[in-house]
Structure formats: C-alpha cells, structure tokens
Structure 1
C-alpha cells in the first residue's frame, strides 16, 4: 500500500469567479494539494441546469496568473468543442502563462444538451472516438514537433505549426478521463501521463486498471508511466469525514492521486481542515 497524492477540484457551476479565485489562491499555499482542476462544460451538470457555469479554459488562464506553485488542469476538455489545432495552441499558451504548470486534460466529449443547444455536432460513439484519436495525434504533434501534417478523416493538418512551444517538453502531461474499456482506456494507454475516472468503487477501479494495463502491454507502454487518479466528492451536508474514509479505501487499493471535489461555492476556510484530515494518508 503506497502513499496517495492529493488535488482539489472546483466545479465552475452555480458559483462566482470570486469564490473560485479565493479557493485556488488558498490551495496554492497548501503544499498537500499538488494540483487544482475545473471542468469543461457550458451548462451546469447538477441542480438548476439553467444556472450559471463559468467557461473552463479562460478561467484556467486567469487562475494561472493568480497562483505560483499549484499545477492547473481541466477535467477534461472535450475534443468536440474546439478544433484540435486550436486546442494545441491554447494548451501551449496556458503552459507558458503558468510557467510550465499545465496538466492537459482531454476527453472525447459527451454532453448532448450542450451540443444540441449550441449546434455542436456530437457524432455517434465510434466516430467520436475516431475524432478523438486523430485529435490526440494532432495535438501531440503540434506541441512537440516543428510542423505536423495529418491526413485524417476528421482532422487534416498541412505543415501546421504551433509556436511558441509549451514550457514542458515534449508536451504538458496529458490526462485522459473516462472508463470505456475499448477506446478510452486504449487511448489512455497510448497517450496519457494520467488517467482519471470520476466515480467508482475500489474494486471496479482495479478491474479497469487491469484493462488499462492490458492495453499498455499491447502497445509496449510501461503502465508505471501513467498516474491513476479518481475524484472523491465532498458532500456539504455530511462534511469532510465520509470523503476522507472513502479516500482511505482507494489508498488501500493503490490509487496514486485523489482529486477532492469541493462543494459548490466552497470557501478557503474548508481547505486547512481538509488538508489536516488527509495528511495521515499522504
């Protein structure tokens, strides 16, 4: 049983910029938390779906300027929302703004409501993952090579450049989120430095991890290069205790990184007691 590392996540729904900023600045001063995350949605996912939700990538740029130590990331940017070349340029710029602290979270995308409302095409699952695979190839190429040419079905690049390059080379660490056994986990085995899932039992996580390792073996990848992370939600009505107990079960199962999902409009005062409660597990 190894030690587990910790991060926080602030959901940008039903909250204000001021609250998110205060929490991230406070987390930046607490060494236990190695990274902080938001999400890439345009509508809330819980509660009143007509309520407010701040855009993920622009808030990351602002939070990069407001912090100095903590790594920053999005769980996870949907490939369907932005052309992969645009995403690569955004990632390079974010890494430069943050001084090399970007964790590049990427996923295929799934939210039908947002796509219907905005007229964004949400392809069928197989086609969506074909687009994701081509998009990953494009993003990694643009971030790490002088020029990239790609003749894909969904993504076409012709001697495309992305300058300036990110601080982290060959590219910022990539987090792939999801638990689809065939396409998502194979993509994680091929591209990811971190694989994230949101809600599972330790037993189910271990089953998925076994599948990931199988894909790694097929691709000749060392699974030890991939950090495994899971999100644990803090219920504001139950407090910190049950969440810390859940963390302990994942630590026993061998999880590498636990991302503590903070309640809506969490205040900085929550972070010190949370860090103290988690410290014995770190």
Structure 2
C-alpha cells in the first residue's frame, strides 16, 4: 500500500507567519500531499489565554497562498456553524484553492475535554448531547451535497434544519463537491461515515483501537450495501523531531493496519525546513 501523507499544524499558540512559512514550504515538497488545520475557538492545550485562529478563515488565507496541496480542517465542528453557512464557506474555499478542498467534518468536541467544552459557553454556542450532535451531523452531510449540486432553490424540513429557498452559488470547483472526510470513533458516528463519507479519520493515533473501529465501519457499510473499500481510512501520527524512527514505526504500523491516509501532526515551534525534514526523515523512509 502506498500511503497518502500530509501534515497538520494546530492553529493555536503559534503566529500566523510561522503557519504560513510551514504551509508554503510544504507546498513545494511533493512528498507532502495534503495539509490540515483544526477547528477550535480557544486553546485546548497550553496557555488558556493564548492565540487560536478561526480555522476556516485561516484555511482560506492559506489556500490563496499555496498552489498544490490539498487542504482542509481536521475536522470542522458541526456545532459551530449553521449547515447552509458552512456549505457556503466550504464552496468559497474550494473556489479560492482551485478545487483542492477536502471537507473535514465531525459532530464536535467530546464532552470529556474540558478545555474544548469551554469554547461553547465563551461564544454563545449550543452544546448538544452526543445523540443529537450525531443526528445533526447526518443532516448536515446530506445538505452540503445538495447545496453544492442543486440547480434551483429548495426548501428543507428536516428534524433539526429548516430552510426556505436554500441555494448555493458559486458551486465548488470539484463536482459533485469536495470529498467528505468525517472524523470520529463512536458507533453512531461510524454509521454516518458509512452512509456519507469518502474518507474516515480516526481521532488520535491508537492503531489498535482504530483497527477495531475500522472493522466496525466495515460492518456498517456491509449492512447498507456499500463497499467498505470505498471509504479511505485516515489516521493522525504525532511527529517527534528528536525521534524520527519512532514516527516512522508508528506510521508503518498504521499502514499495515489498513490506514492509507496519514496526517503527520507537527508540534510547534516548527524547525526551519520542517517540511523537507518530514519528507526526508519520515515519508521517504517508509
């Protein structure tokens, strides 16, 4: 299996100039195929009052500053933005990037991460319980596809989303729309993955647990008559600048377990020429 390897730079506790430097360097390194941001409104680690950039605004800026990388938010919280607004945001970024967006989406932060939970109260956002959050995720997935493809305005009378005269223009460059990556590990979420996703991202780097969840996803696909192989399996691999061998071993373990889409998580501060280092010391030696 030849993996597709990219990077993720958390847009928190860092300066914009540093993120721009890494992404523009990665854009010149062909071994790095994709680049990602996360979606939080306050820090989830480090200084609780430190800087955290809004993911989609930053992604648009980085899309305009790069030419080759596929790019996305790993993953967008479906709790943060109304679905029709999110469809418009994503279409805009796909146009800005010339059709390089991968649409990362998830139900939202887990309730057992206190540093993440506080961002909802701080921004006046609702925090639905897990069953409702996953049900809303499913509605959003269907609505994104429809807004990206519909030729005429339409109404929506969903369980959670009600729209009158909904219409998306401009359409994304990619047709019928950007590939949809759904992140999550819970059974409810994996059922949504089976129905809607082109890629599935396991949140974290635990290969053993990810393998078990991947088998469960296979079962859910079979139950609805979908080929499990139609969904690319993705995993985040933490990078240790002082131990490239451990990073490679982790990546090989994930590849052997069937994860062909790897996202190397780069901790800040970023060394000079970090993208070239990732290619030489990790990707080219897999």
Quickly name the TM-score band, shorter chain normalised: over 0.9
CA RMSD of aligned residues (A): 1.5
> Does residue 279 in structure 1 map to residue 283 in structure 2?
yes
Match of 1:123 in 2: 128
Deviation at 1:46, TM superposition (A): 1.1
Per-residue CA shift, 1:139-164, capped at 9, x if unaligned? 11111222343211210123310001
- Provide the aligned length of Structure 1 versus Structure 2: 279
On the 8 A contact 1:248/1:281 being kept in 2, the answer is no
After superposing on structure 2, the runs of 4+ consecutive aligned residues of structure 1 that deviate more than 6 Å are none
Per-residue CA shift, 1:175-205, capped at 9, x if unaligned? 1011012x11111111111111132432222
Deviation at 1:275, TM superposition (A): 0.6
For 2:174 and 2:99, how far apart are their aligned partners in 1? Answer: 6
On the 8 A contact 1:141/1:148 being kept in 2, the answer is no
For 2:278 and 2:142, how far apart are their aligned partners in 1? Answer: 39
Unaligned runs of 5+ in 1: none
For 2:193 and 2:248, how far apart are their aligned partners in 1? Answer: 27
User: What's the secondary structure of 1:265's corresponding residue?
Assistant: coil
Give 2:168's match in structure 1, choosing from 162, 165, 168: 162
Match of 2:193 in 1: 188
Match of 1:211 in 2: 216
User: What's the secondary structure of 1:158's corresponding residue?
Assistant: strand
Q: How does 1:5-20 map to 2 (within 5 A)?
A: 5-20=4-19
On the 8 A contact 1:16/1:265 being kept in 2, the answer is no
Match of 2:88 in 1: 89
Give the TM-score normalised by structure 2.
0.93
User: What's the secondary structure of 2:282's corresponding residue?
Assistant: helix
User: What's the secondary structure of 2:33's corresponding residue?
Assistant: strand
Match of 2:252 in 1: 248
On the 8 A contact 2:247/2:282 being kept in 1, the answer is no
User: What's the secondary structure of 1:93's corresponding residue?
Assistant: helix
> Does residue 53 in structure 1 map to residue 52 in structure 2?
yes
> Does residue 140 in structure 1 map to residue 137 in structure 2?
no
- Compare 82-91 and 115-124 and name the one that shifted more: 115-124
On the 8 A contact 2:180/2:198 being kept in 1, the answer is yes
Unaligned runs of 5+ in 2: 110-115
Give the TM-score normalised by structure 1.
0.94
- Compare 28-37 and 245-254 and name the one that shifted more: 245-254
